[in-house]
Structure formats: structure tokens, C-alpha cells
Structure 1
């Protein structure tokens, strides 16, 4: 999955919060909603002078203007969250119609600042409401002052708590997004590393094979140079060996062009499909049960695809030994010149073996088969087996030699 899609699926909220960029459509909708809520709640307190405030009634037009100004000030809450909250809380002490704007500003601080800051402002808001209810006395209901103070204090605590919960959720979603992006990047890096290592391994193998064939070609060409009078049949045989070696060199060069070259030295012996019996014997000696079905003569398989087939069988046996220990493994080889070489390794699935693996080996095999012009697939079958299969091109030459 693309990392941009992963980030969008679990995006942590407003991108216009401090530290983010431009406003999104969602942010603009939230802004309009905040302004409307603050204005509508403020209208309830506009002109409410019964009983008469201790500081004297505010003119209706001034009270309405301050209510509108308080609601519109919420549009800058992302840029100056703390300053706006302090201003609105203090202003609500003398002008109750901006109290709703002060509550929303307090909630905004709880969302975007540390809990210690929002709790401190919540305490300031509680002190402000105590002074406000003294300046603007309520009805003659017994204990009306303390009831109003307690209810307002609970509302302030609820706003702060809600803001802290939203902040915690956003931080959690941000953390999950970062982890998902890192995991995706690490997986992509493992895939690229597996492809690069496999290309380097193929290049080393091709380099060794090419050097071997060129040395043979040089030896037979030298024999022709020093013995021009050799019998006709020996001359024809040497010329045939030289032609075959030159053709194999061309095939190896064509394959080397498609892979990366490495400055590292080879790290293991170079084997082909002709040495498959040795590989199977080694695996059987390690306790594996292997059934081989082959419809081709292994010695006739060209080295250029024989090395790939050997590597595919080797990886299949390694996977079976790791993920399905003590299970029977079936190795199938079939094909012919011109039709290609099919390689298949299958074993029963074992679900109780907790060994997921890195899948780098399978990635390398897919890269190897692709570079050779073939196909590679792997996965579970309907019969409850894990199947690893590849098809490699097997060119048919017109001289009778495969």
C-alpha cells in the first residue's frame, strides 16, 4: 500500500493546528461552526440585565458588538491559542455574552497545548466565573450563586478533559501514522535490497562461468595454433568445442548485461542443476524427506538456466525446512528445449510453526527468474500445500546441442 494512502486513512485531525500547513475544507467548516456556536450562545446573554448588574447595565448595542467580536476572534485560535483564551476568559468576567467564546478558546488550548497549561487556564476560568456571578447576580433562588459556580466549574473541567482526550487521540494517530510509514519504507527497502543482492549474486555466477568458458576457448584455440596439421576429425572436434564455447560466452554476456556488477568476491561455490543430486543428498542427510520427479536429463540443461533452477530448488528446500519441518517435500522438474524448463517445489502447510520470515529469498528468486526471461510464483494451494514454481526459457539450437 502506498504510504500516502496509509497516512490519509489514519490522519490525526486538523492540518491547520500549530505545526501544520494550510487550512483544509474540514478546518473551514469547524471555524464556521465555532463562530456560530459562540454567537448563538452569546445572544442568550445579550441584554440580560435582570437583575441589574452591580457594575451597571451595558448598552445593548455594545453588548451585541462585543458578542460578535468574541465569536469572530475564534478564527485566530490556532495562531494564538493561549493569548486568545486568556483574553476571552478575562473579558467574560465583565461581558457574559463572550463566555461561550471563552469556553471554546479553553477547549482549543486543551487540544493543542500540554495538559498543565490547559488545567491552569481552567482554574483561571473558574475564578473568572465566580467573579462574574458576583457582578451579575442571579435570581433570588437560595444558593443560586454557588449552584451556578459549581455548574460552570464542571463545564470548564469537561471542556478541558474533552480537549485532553482529543489531543491524546491525535498524538496516538500521529504515532500510528509514523509507524505505518516507517514500516512501509522498511519493507520497500527490504525488497530493493533483496533484488540488489540477487542481481549481484547472478553477476558473480555469470562472471565465473564466463571466465571458465573463455579459458576453455583459449586452450582449444591454442591447440589449433600449435598443431595445424592435426587429423581432420580432431580438428573438427576442436572447432566444434570452440564454437560451442563462444556461443555460451555470448549467452552469458547477454545475461550479465541485465544485472548489476559487484566488487565483492564470490561467497560460495557455483553450482548448476547437474549438481541437484548433491543438494538433495545433503538435505536428506539433514532429516528431510524429498521426492524427486524429473522428466528431463539434467546434464542436458544449459548452464545459463541450470544455475537458476538449482537456486530455486535450493530456496524451496530451505523454506520447507524452515516453515514445514519433518514434512515431505516434492520436487518436480519438467520441460524440453524450446518449451522451457519448469521447476516446482511443494510441501504441506504447517500453521502452528511461528516463523514468518523476511521473504527476501522469494523476492530474490522472482528477480532471478525475471532477469532470465522467465516467470516465478509462490503461495498456498487449494490442497493445503505451499507451492513454489518457476518457468525458465530453454532455447533450442539448430545444431542439435541444447
Structure 2
């Protein structure tokens, strides 16, 4: 419905000027021949010239006004033709303001008075039509008053709609500003809570791990404490970066790791006690940065889940280079059970959305007593 109205409005705006010119020309000619007005004794060539001039003035009203006002005065004084005068009065109400409108009214009064004088001089039907007091008042109302009032009403309506649009846009901008402030306040609140709670606890963990590393006698305990301390410090560094992003008012761009950091991920998992091997299949090629970051996230999430739920199982990371993309497989073998770390279960959901945004697909399901995470990321979606 809205598109149809817009299309109709465009058609009207495009074809209204030539159509209006034709209507004015026909009306002036019909008035001079006596079909809708007073018959004129002037030659047909003169009538045709006035009709064509009135048509041209009506067709150019969007760019200039004075030709139409002149054509209205000439048409009324020479032929007693009212078509151009009605259109001129409407355009005056629609476009003129202040002194310009007062000047038009004065000009219209002069033209009507001139029409009275011409009617008195010509006599006959012209005198009865344009020079009698009752007809003069009626003509003034029909030629000037009513079209002028209608033009003023249309202009007032346009001004009201423009004011409403401006108000709506201003309210929308204010609402967006309030939403931005609310988001900024919420980000700041989240950052503060994360700093007060998470950072504090991780700092305590690092401190206690450092103390245990210094005081412990058993080499295995010392190594585990050093790993906990190093991992805790890295977690604090990552947490500071996240807090910095949350505290920023605008969108922030933080560098993310790609495929070149997969070996580092595997090394961290091995240091944590996970048995991980890597396999590459196909011919390695330069891949888009978006694809590399997504593949890195798949491997990171899969290894994190393996450490949580199958720390004693063998895990294989396979990167399969395909002609049209990259396939990432992370398979965990059967686990003997034992303690597992709690998880929210949202990591794979977010990861699936990220992969699907690139036109790929992600599968995560138990396989042969273990667990398989498989992501197929096409080059087309990451380009």
C-alpha cells in the first residue's frame, strides 16, 4: 500500500505540469469560443497565441511564477478567460508569503477592476458577465478567494506535516541518544562488576599460585603452580582488554588471532595436561582474515570444552584446506570420566552463529564415545 502511494505520487509529480498545461490551454480556448465563457470577437490566431502562452506559463510554474500571473491578467482582460487566474490564485496561496502575497492580491484587484472597465467598454454579454456588481463579487470569490484559501490550506497542511516529521526525527535521535547512554552505562556497570569480582578472584589465584610455587618442595607441584600463575596472569591481561572494550563509548576494534595462533593454543592445552595432536590436510593457502579468526575461535572453543569435560582423552585438531574453503575438525576420544568444570553451554551456540554468518555450518555431536566439533567455512562468505 505504501509503495503504491509513493509510485502514484511520483507519477503525479512527473506528469502533472504537462497535463496542467494542456488543461489550461483547452480551458482558455473554450472560454474564447463561448463554450465555457464569453465569446471573443478576436481572430483565432490571437486566441491560440494566448492559450499557448497560458499553457507554457502553467507548465513552468515550478521554476517561475511571474509568467502565470501575467498570463492570468492578459487572459482575463483580453478574453475574460479564468483558467489561468484560478491556477495563479492557488499558486499564490501555496507559494507566496507576506508582502509577496499582498502584492498578488493588489495585482488581482487591479486585473478585476480592469476587467470591469473592459466590460463596460465592450458592452453586451461581456458587460453583463464582468462589469455588473453582483458578478464582479462572484468572480472575485471564484477566481481569487476560493483558490487562494485552498492554496493557503494546502500550504498550512504541508507545514504541519513537515513540522511533525521534524519532531519525529528529533524524537528518534533523542531516543537513540538515550539508548546509547543506557548502553554505555550498562557496559560501564558490567565492566565495574567484572573488575570487582572476577579480576579480584583471579588476582588472588595468581598470588596463591606464586606463593605455592615458592614454598612447595615437590617438583610437580612447583610446575603446576607456575602454570596456574602464568595462566592467571594471561587471564588478567585478557580481562583488562575486555574491560577496556566495555568502557569505550563507541565501537572498538580489537585485534583477534588467526590460524597462525593455533599452535599456541595447542601448546597451552598441552601445558594444561591435554593430549593434543595437530594434522593438516591439503595445500595450505592464504585465507581471508575473517576466515582465520573464525577457525581460531572454533579450535579454541573445542579445546576449552575438551579440557573441561574430557581432560584425559586424546584430542586431534585437523585443518583441512579445501579448494573453496577450510574444514576444521576437533575430535576428542573416549574419556574415563572424572571431575569436569561447569559450563554455560553458550559457547557452541555463539560459535555456530558466527560460522553461519560466513555461509558455513558447524556440527557438534558425540562420536564413538568421544566428541566431534566440525566447522566448514567457505571462502565466498569470508571474502
Shorter-normalised TM range: 0.5 to 0.7
More helix by share: 2
The range that moved more, 39-48 or 60-69, is 39-48
Partner of 1:71: 55
Question: The residue matched to 1:77 in structure 2 has which SS?
Answer: coil
| Partner Cα separation in structure 2 for residue 58 and residue 52 of structure 1 | 9
Q: Pick from 14, 23, 27: which aligns with 1:28?
A: 14
Q: Is 1:206 aligned to 2:194, yes or no?
A: yes
Distance 1:34 1:160 in 2: 18
Corresponding residue of 1:187: 175
Matches within 5 A, 1:330-349: 337-338=342-343
Instruction: Tell me, yes or no, if the aligned pair for 1:217 and 1:241 is still in contact at 8 Å.
Output: no
- Tell which structure's C-alpha radius of gyration is larger: 2
CA–CA separation in structure 2 for the residues paired with 1:246 and 1:178: 55
Matched, 1:92 2:75: yes
Output the aligned Cα RMSD: 4.6
State the match for 2:155 in structure 1. 167
Query: What is the aligned counterpart of 1:114 among 82, 97, 113?
Result: 97
User: 1:145 matched to which residue of 2?
Assistant: 132
List runs of 5+ in structure 1 lacking aligned partners.
15-23, 265-335, 342-369, 374-402
Greater RCO (Cα-Cα under 8 Å, separation 6 or more)? 1
Report matched runs for 1:2-401 at 5 Å.
24-47=10-33, 57-81=41-65, 83-96=66-79, 99-114=82-97, 116-136=99-119, 137-139=123-125, 145-155=132-142, 156-229=144-217, 243=228, 246=231, 250=235, 253=238, 257=242, 260-262=245-247, 337-338=342-343
Q: Cα distance, 1:177 vs. partner? A: 0.8
Task: Give how far 1:153 is off.
Answer: 0.7
CA contact (8 A) 1:210 1:252 kept: no
Q: For 1:40 and 1:246, how far apart are their aligned partners in 2?
A: 90
What is the CA–CA distance in structure 2 between the aligned matches of 1:211 and 1:118, rounded to whole Å?
73
Deviations 1:304-323 (A, max 9, x none): xxxxxxxxxxxxxxxxxxxx
Q: Deviations over 1:185-217 (max 9, x none)?
A: 222222233223322332333334454235323
Flag structure 2 segments of 5+ consecutive residues without an equivalent: 250-340, 353-383
Q: 1:141 to 1:129 in 2, by over 3 A?
A: closer
1:93, CA displacement in angstroms? 4.4
Mapped to 1, the partners of 2:240 and 2:81 lie a distance apart of 78
Give a deviation string over 1:234-278, Cα, whole Å, max 9, x none.
x69x967984994697499369538724389xxxxxxxxxxxxxx
Superposed CA offset, 1:370-398 (max 9, x none): 99x9xxxxxxxxxxxxxxxxxxxxxxxxx
CA distance in 2, matches of 1:34, 1:252: 73
Distance 1:133 1:127, change over 3 A: same
Which SS does the other structure have where 2:151 is aligned? helix
Deviation for aligned residue 1:174: 0.4
Q: Is the 8 A contact 2:29 2:47 kept in 1?
A: no
- Give me the whole-angstrom Cα distance separating, in 2, the residues matched to 1:187 and 1:97: 58
Q: Distance in 2 between matches of 1:142 and 1:262?
A: 81
Change (3 A) 1:143 1:210: closer
Could you report, residue by residue, the CA deviation over 1:123-152 in whole angstroms, capped at 9, with x for unpaired residues? 321331232243143437699622221111
